[in-house]
């Protein structure tokens, strides 16, 4: 079991979690991020962003 201490613990490595790490570190605080799956969260890896890429590719004109 990890017994390190952090000033901020972020639950989830999605857009919000990743976005807050920079300001926290610039403030001189220590931060830990806990993510059960892929860094980037659902939207980036399995949700809206990935879906948009696949839909756009499917609608691209054939070359």
φ and ψ of 50, to 5 deg: -60, -40
Residue 10 CA to residue 20 CA, distance in Å, equals 8
Select the more confidently predicted residue: 40 or 34. Answer: 34
Q: Is 19 helix (H, G, I), strand (E, B) or coil?
A: helix
Select the more confidently predicted residue: 56 or 25. Answer: 25
- Whether the pLDDT of residue 29 is over 80: the answer is yes
């Amino acid at each position: 079991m990890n017994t390190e201490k952090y000033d901020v613990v972020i639950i989830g490595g999605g857009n919000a979690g990743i976005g807050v790490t920079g300001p926290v570190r610039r403030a001189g605080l220590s931060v830990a991020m806990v993510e059960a799956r892929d860094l980037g969260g659902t939207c980036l890896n399995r949700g809206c962003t990935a879906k948009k890429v696949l839909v756009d590719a499917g609608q691209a004109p054939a070359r």
